[in-house]
Structure formats: C-alpha cells, structure tokens
Structure 1
Amino acid sequence: MGIDVRKRFFVVAGVLIAAVLFLLPTFFPKQMPANWISKPLSLGLDLSGGIHLVYQVQTDEALKSRLQSMGNMIRSELKKEKIPVLRVRVPEEKTLEMTFLSESSADRAQKRIESDYRNLMFKQKKQDEGRSVLLFTIADTYAAEIKRNAVRQSIETLRSRVDQFGVTEPVIQQIGEERVLLQMPGVSDIAAVKRVVGSVAKLEFRLLHTSTSTSGRVMMKDSEGGSVAVEDEVLMTGDAVDDARVAFSTATHGAEVSLSLNSEGAKTFAKITGEHVGEQLAIILDGIVKSSPRINERIGGGKASISGSFGAKEAEELAVVLRAGALPAPLNVLEERMVGPTLGKESIKAGITAIIATLIFIGLFMVWYYKKSGLIAVMSLALNVFLVMACLSAFGATLTLPGLAGLALTVGMAVDSNVLIVERIREELRNGASRDAAVVAGFDRALSAIIDSNITEILSASILYFVGTGAIRGFAVVTAIGIVMTLFCAVFVARTFYELFELKGKDQLISV
C-alpha cells in the first residue's frame, strides 16, 4: 500500500467513524448521553404524525390595539399636566379619537400630542354634545410597519409557547404577509394546542367602575357570563409580568396563577394599590374579568395572583401563555389537520422500501453489467446514503417524506457518476492502457463531466430551497447534501477502493 493510498484509506475510515458517531443517537436514543455531539434524527410531521395548523394574524386588530395603547399613554401624560381626557377610543382603523371636557383642554392637548408624538397626524376637531373631540390618524407606511411587526411578534410568541410542549423540531414560519404555519410533530391533543398556542393572553388591570355615570365606563363579561363595569383606563398590562406559576389558593381552595412582576411592573403595581386603597381592581384576561379583589393596602414586592373557577390544567395552560407573553393580535385558524402516527409509519416504511429497492435493483444491474467494478459502485452508493443520514443528524435537520424522496433520488443520480467512471476505464483498457493507468485516466477524464453535472444539480437544489417553503425545502436540503456526498463517494472513495483491491477479471486486467 503506497503512501497516497494509505492517506486515502485513513480519510475514508475517519469519515466513516465520524458518521457512525453522529448516527449513534438515532440508532440508540436511550443509551446515549444528553450531551452527545449530535441528536437523534428528527422526523417531520408527515413521518411521525402530529398537528398542522395555519393561522391568520388579524393585523387590523393589532393596529387598533397599538393605537389604543398610544392613546392610553397620552392620556396618562396629559393627566400629569392637569388636562383631563374623558374618553380614548379607536373608532376605525388608523384613527384615534380623544374626548375632552372643554375646547381649551383639547387645544392644549393637540399642541402636546403634535409635539411629542410625531407618528400621529391631526385629522379633525369636532364637537360632540358640548365636548371637544380630537381625531388623529397615522401614515400608511407606519400602519404597514405595525402590521409587519405584529406578524413577526406573533411568530416569536408562538415559538415561546410551543417550547413549553417540549416538541422536537417544530415548524413555525410565515406564509405570505399575514399567515403563520405551525407544525408540531408527535403532538396529538389539537384542542390543547389551540388553547395554549392560539389564545391572545392579553392581561389588563383596571379599576371597577363604581360611579353612576356612564362616562369612562367599559362593559365586560366575567367568568360566569355576567356583566361587569370597569374603567376605560388600563392601569397595567401583561408586559409587567416576569413569571407566572400555578399555586394553591387557601382562600378558594383551588388552583390559581401566581404572578411575579418585573421591576417596573412592581413599582407600577405598588403605586396603583397605594393610590386606590378601598377600591376593587379588576384582573382581565382576553376581555374576561377573572377576579376583582378589593385593595386593602399598598402591595409591594411585585407579587399578584389570578384566581377563578378553573382547574389545575387550565391554570397551568394560563401560566404557560402568560410566561410566553401576549400575542399582538388574535389568530384565526384557517386550516387544521391531524396526521396520525400510523400514517407516518406507513410513509416511513414506504420510503425506506423505495430506497432499498432502488439500491437492490441498481446494485444487481451494476454487478451484472460491470462485474467487480459494479460491486465497487454499489459499495459507494451504500456509503453515500449512510453519509447523507449522518449529515442530517449532524446538522440537526428534520427528515420529511419529501426528504426520503430526495434520498431515493440521490441514489439514482449517484449511479451516473459511477457509470461515467467505469465506462472511461473500459475505454482506456480498449486503447491498450495498463490496469493502473486505465484507472487513473478513467477517473481524471470523468471528473470534469461529474463536476459539471453535479454543479447544475446543486444550483437547482439551491433555487428550490430559497424559493420554496416547507416540504420543498426539505427535499432541496437532502438533495444538496446527497450531491456533495456523491462527489465524495464517486471521486474519492471509489478510487480508494480501486487502489486497495486488484479486481482482476478472467480475460481482463480489471473486472469491468
């Protein structure tokens, strides 16, 4: 064995050992330590079964919510300057309406808003039952930015909530402008997913409205369906929540959600409770008044709780969504699909059968037509498939049904390179070249054609990856990895085998 052959052998052996190490968690998932260099090969939704959901983000609601928040913020600022605001509402998209007691108050507020809030543009001033009303609007570009951010924030919030399920390799991606695709392999309880993942979880703290006047009042429902009057001013939101955990209430003898507030939230909550001792504070979730405890004293320490008529499971789900944060807008389910594990197993079985059948039929033909050289090609093909699986495991990729199709296609494409090489070797032998000279010339002359064909295939796979989504990307990834492994196995590994083994034929210098 020459020095060059020995180096080739050690490279092939090293790659093979690395591939085995990467695939060990896939073959022995329970025996491998958690900190191993790779994770078990993940199966996509179509192979392992699971949940497929397509959500529509109601970006118009996100825009209204953003304007309402801006209005509440302005109201708080104006209150410090002794400018009372009777009402803040968003009557229509891109319009903020603020009602003042007098025209002088409206004029002072208009100057302050135009000075400090450049995104708001003055639209109209009108009178309503003797009170001054200011209307502001926002630019189309700013509205479009709010909607884009709502979709991006929805995706991040969904990802945080899905992580609570412990799902391996979930798929969460944007489709078009306002749609989000969610796939959770291995999950079967679609109702629980929709409750936890799809709920807005908009948490608000408001005072109960005790005055007989309807001014500044908002009617909401409680947990039992009754009507509750609350103030239209939001004193604190879910942004103040740092953590949420399930606890047991000694007062109600049931489950409750204990809230830990962040530093800013703790200060705000202490101020609210200190200024409103003796009043009732409504804790509102998604427009439902969950509880309205009476404030007996100033509450410091940044702790609060939500209690109500819910069980431990509902409390845990509520804690999950509060920890992940509120969605910027409601989500509508446009499509829901459940893929059973039985169907996934059948897909795996069919895919593996197709790959094995492809290897067998190609292998039989290659051995029959090219003799021992065909056997080298079969060994190269088998190693090719093994290395592709190892790369998927090393990169943490998810194997899907289109990925299995790409793997089967890789076998079919890889054999072309071996055919080119063997035919070149045959041609050199017919021209009178020696055994070693024929092998060297065969590989050298076939190399350019092999590289050219595989480069075009990689370009095609790249286009599929960057243009396509979901399953098409999975197919493109497996195909691209297969092409790279084809180059390595056909050009490097196969040549190493030719130099290691003589492969003598009956009437030829080499069995080909």
Structure 2
Amino acid sequence: MLQIELWKRVLIWGLVAIGLALALPNAFYSRVEQSNDAQAAIEKGADTPENQEKAGLWPSFLPSSIVNLGLDLRGGAHLLAEVRVEDVYVQRMEALWPEVRDALRGERAAVGTIRLQETDAADQLRVRISQPEGIDRAVEVVSGLARPVTSLTGAGASDLDVIAQGADVIITLSEAEKLATDERTLRQALEIIRRRIDEVGTREPTIQRQGTDRILIQVPGIGSAAELKAIIGTTAQLTFQPVVSRANSADAAPGVGNEVLPSLDEKDVYYILEQAPVVTGEQLVDAQPSFDQNGRPAVSFRFNPQGARKFGDYTAENIGSPFAIVLDGEVVSAPVIQSHIPGGSGIITGNFTVEESTNLAVLLRAGALPAGLDFLEERTIGPELGQDSIDAGKLASVVASLAVVGFMVASYGLFGIFANIALVINVALIFGLLSLMGATLTLPGIAGIVLTIGMAVDANVLVFERIREELRTAKGPARAISLGYEKALSAIVDANLTTFLTAVILFVMGSGPVRGFAVTLGLGIVTSVFTAVYVTRLLVVLWFDRKRPKTIEV
C-alpha cells in the first residue's frame, strides 16, 4: 500500500540533488560572479594573471549560473534616450547624391553641367543644372531612382518626391518613407544597444521603446549613468571614404559634397574627404581583435559580398590614390592604394591597446548606431538602495518562513517537520531554476517567493487533513497515509492549476516587474507541488518503513 518504487525514489532524489547543485552558486554570489566575469574576459582575449586568479575562485566542475539581481536590488543606471531620426535623413541624402550625379551625367546633352547646392533641410537634396530648358528631363531621370516604400503602412507609395524649382531639381523623402525610416531606425537602435550591452558582459538589461522616438535603458550593476552612456553612446561608425586633399586646419573650405575630418593619431592634420563613403560599417560581417605585422594591437574586418565587391572595384580603379579609414568622425589612417584588394578583408591599425582593440571589435560587430542619441533623463541607483531592498526582502522571507514553520510544527508535529524540510528544498529548487533560466530577481520577484513560501504548505495541509479523516474511520496508519495522498491529489492540482494560469496570464500580458513576479510565482507553484506530492511523501515513507508505528498522530 505505502510503497514507492526504487526508480521513483532515485528520480525524486536526483531532481532534488540537481536543484540544490544549481542553487548552490547563489550562496557564494560575489565569488561566483567574479569568477564568471573573469572567465568571460579570458575568452575575449584578456588572459591576464589577475583574471586567472579570479577565475579560480569557483571550481569549474560545479554549476556557475547565478540569479541576476535586478536594478532595484543591485543598483545600476537608468537612461531615457531620444533617437535623432533626422540624422538618418541626412545620411540617406548623402548616399543618394552619387546616384543622382551619375544618372544626370548620362543626360548631359539635355541638362548640361550639374552642381550640388547647399540646403538646410535634412531630408532634401537640391541639384542645379546649367540648362534650365532640360529641367523636365532631369526630373524624369531622377524620378526613375525612386523605389517603393518597404513597409505595410507605405504600400504603393514611392520613397522619393522629385519636383522642379527654376533650374533646380529638389529631391525629398516622402512622408511614407519618413515613417518607414523612423520605424526601422528605432528597431535598429534597439537591437544595436541590446547587442552592445549584452556583449560587454552586463546582465539582463531592460531596453524598451517609448513613444515614437525614445528608448528606455536600465542596466543593473553599472556603476554610473556616465559609464552606461560611454558603452551606448560610442557610435563606432566605420566608413571608407575617398581623400580629396590634406589640410592644416579644421577651418579649411571643403567644398560642396566634401567634409573636413581630423586625423586620429597625427596632431594638427586634417583631411578633406568626399562625404559619400564607398563602403560603410553596415557591410561588415565580422570584426576581431588581432595584431599587425609589427605585433601591435589592431582590428581585422571582413565585408559581406556586396561590400567586398564595392571595396574591390574601388581599389582596382584608384591604385595610387589615398583612401581614408574613418572611425567616428576621425581618420584612423589614410593609406595609398598599392594594388587591387579582392576578398573584402582588411585590418585597421592605430595606437590601440589590447583592451581598446577588443572593445572596438565588439562595437563594430554590434554595428553602428543608425542615428545619434540625446539623453533626456539619466539616473544612477546606488547599491545602498539595492541593499536596503535586499535586507527588506530577506526580513520578509524570514518572517514568512518562521511563521509557516511554526504553524506546521504546532499543527502537525512530526509531519509538519517533514513539510518544513520540503519547504527548504522548495525554495532551493526555485533559485536553482531561476539560475538555470538566467532570470532576473527583482523586488516583485522576492514578493513572489514570499507568497510561494506561504502557499507551499497548502498542499501538505490538504494531505495531512485528509490523513486525519482517514484515521477517524479506523483504518491503519499505512492505509490512511496512502489514501490521504491519493484523495488529496485532485484538490491540490485544481488549486495550483488556477494559480499557475494566473501567473501565465501575468507573464504574457505584463512587463518588467510584473513579469518578474509571475516568473517566481509560476516556478514556485511547480516546485511546491513537486515537493508536497513527492518529496514529503517520500520522507513519510522512509520514516514509516524505519519505525513501523502502530498508530500515528497528525
């Protein structure tokens, strides 16, 4: 009657052992975190004695996943950034100019010479032709460069509006294209910010879109908002631009379609470059820290097929001409093209340290931010506030645990002790699952754990009360225990299933702290049912097999 097969016993204790092993690193949180960070740094190339020492703080054969502490527990940085979508309009018009120029050059007999005119509008390109009588032909040719808008809201619309004004052809982005561009820009900025923050080793950032052009960024564990801005705000925009000439001052007149940029390594040296790049960092598919032929830190890169073709064609046609590698508005180097460079691979050299070359490779892999960011709001949440929250959560958990433990022992005696042992295992299993999932624990999450502690003994209460009822019918203790677990099972499943469905709805419909509460509540329900139905029953069976009592008191 009161028997559990050997394989079931092994399975139950095996799951408990795995859960306890997964939860163990959280008991040594600081040590494990330092070890994990050192291991990540070593994998990225920073194999220093200091990192080796920190990596040895935790044995490699033990699990090393820990529960990530949220912003309200650990402290961190909070930023609200506004994306300058107008920057994308400017880049789009600059990239369009070579196409317009080449298209109109093919109609020189009708339109004469062409010249780019300055304009204050970010989304506008103004081109003047020398033969005004050919303006209609110029508009027709430029209109042929328009493409359909690639969005559902702009279906059927064109991305360019082309009109004539005297001898000028005015090209602007259509409203449908602006909306589509804004949407793409926000999505791209979100993804790039997420990849940058994740790749430099921080844990579980909150990155959400707010409104039409704003992004909310919250990252636990960052020391200050300035540190977070340094990670996010670095554009890491790589371009390869033709060199027009060199200059000795930033005040040099570059001419329309050109720009003056300083040299990164050479003091008081400036380059006049064509604004339209030949290849950009968007065509990069990989960037890795490496070393040049002299053993100095550098960054090797590789283009996609489209970028490789452009890069190869340009170097083949411009042998003997200087070619500028521009990073974030500064000329890293301007080598002279010695020969055709096929394959789309190259290397960026400069006065880098190993750490700088590694960080640059990370930023290039993540991609360039499509537009600049204006930080409207920035806050740093100190670890002291987080520690206060942790202390308050600990106090609540301890009070709840003591109340539950005392109630169970007072109400059910030895069986209450079995339930309390299962409760400890239950909490450990929750932390083990949270660690396995890489979940983030916040104050609402702690509230979910406290609620789970209170609810965890509900199933045991149902079982024990059922056992009492069976004992009143003069059944033997073994039969009463067996029937108690069997007949209470349906009530346990029904009660916990409805709560679990509530947790699922909170997780699907909620966000941020609400989802954190839902995760701990849902996991707590699963582990509570497991410990109440299987672990406590196994403890009771082991005790009964050993003592063989004639009567029992529940």
Q: TM-score range by the shorter chain?
A: 0.7 to 0.9
The residue that corresponds to 2:65 in the other structure is: 40
> Which sits farther off after the overlay, 488-497 or 325-334?
488-497
The residue that corresponds to 2:234 in the other structure is: 199
> Which sits farther off after the overlay, 59-68 or 482-491?
59-68
> Any idea what SS the aligned residue of 1:4 has?
coil
* Pairing 1:174–2:214 present: no
Find 1:87's aligned residue among 85, 98, 116: 116
- Asked if structure 2 preserves the Cα contact closer than 8 Å seen for 1:282 and 1:289, the reply is no
* Pairing 1:290–2:324 present: no
Whole-angstrom CA distance in 2 between matches of 1:294 and 1:8: 71
- Asked if structure 1 preserves the Cα contact closer than 8 Å seen for 2:185 and 2:371, the reply is yes
Whole-angstrom CA distance in 2 between matches of 1:88 and 1:389: 64
Matches for 1:203-214 after TM superposition, within 5 Å: 203-207=238-242
The residue that corresponds to 1:133 in the other structure is: 169
Sequence identity, in percent? 29
The residue that corresponds to 1:117 in the other structure is: 147
> Any idea what SS the aligned residue of 1:487 has?
helix
Matches for 1:84-483 after TM superposition, within 5 Å: 86-87=115-116, 92=121, 97-103=126-132, 104=134, 107-108=137-138, 110-111=140-141, 113-114=143-144, 117-119=147-149, 120=158, 123-127=161-165, 131-140=167-176, 142-167=177-202, 169-177=203-211, 178-188=213-223, 190-207=225-242, 216-220=256-260, 222=262, 230-241=273-284, 242-243=286-287, 245=289, 264-273=306-315, 275-276=317-318, 281-286=323-328, 288-290=329-331, 293=334, 295=336, 297-298=338-339, 300=341, 302-303=345-346, 305=348, 307=350, 317-483=359-525
Report the AA paired with residue 196 of structure 1.
Answer: I
- Asked if structure 2 preserves the Cα contact closer than 8 Å seen for 1:205 and 1:282, the reply is yes
The residue that corresponds to 1:74 in the other structure is: 99
The residue that corresponds to 2:46 in the other structure is: none
Structure 1, residues 275-301: CA drift from partner, whole Å, max 9, x if none?
556765554444x34367474645636
> Which sits farther off after the overlay, 98-107 or 372-381?
98-107
Report the CA distance between 1:411 and its aligned residue: 0.3
- Give the number of equivalent residue pairs: 501
Q: C-alpha root-mean-square deviation of aligned residues, in Å?
A: 4.2
- With normalisation by structure 1, the TM-score equals 0.80
- Asked if structure 1 preserves the Cα contact closer than 8 Å seen for 2:418 and 2:536, the reply is yes
> Which sits farther off after the overlay, 311-320 or 338-347?
311-320
> Which sits farther off after the overlay, 150-159 or 184-193?
184-193
> Any idea what SS the aligned residue of 2:413 has?
helix
Whole-angstrom CA distance in 2 between matches of 1:382 and 1:312: 47
Structure 1, residues 353-394: CA drift from partner, whole Å, max 9, x if none?
432332222111211122222222212212211211221222
Report the AA paired with residue 158 of structure 1.
Answer: I
Pair 14,204 (structure 1): closer, same or farther in 2 beyond 3 Å? closer
Report the AA paired with residue 443 of structure 1.
Answer: Y
Whole-angstrom CA distance in 1 between matches of 2:338 and 2:514: 60
Whole-angstrom CA distance in 1 between matches of 2:546 and 2:6: 21
Report the CA distance between 1:261 and its aligned residue: 5.1
Whole-angstrom CA distance in 1 between matches of 2:118 and 2:496: 62
The residue that corresponds to 1:61 in the other structure is: 86
Whole-angstrom CA distance in 2 between matches of 1:373 and 1:204: 72
Pair 258,14 (structure 1): closer, same or farther in 2 beyond 3 Å? closer
Whole-angstrom CA distance in 1 between matches of 2:358 and 2:104: 38
Report the CA distance between 1:92 and its aligned residue: 4.4
Report the CA distance between 1:461 and its aligned residue: 1.5
Pair 493,179 (structure 1): closer, same or farther in 2 beyond 3 Å? farther
- With normalisation by structure 2, the TM-score equals 0.75
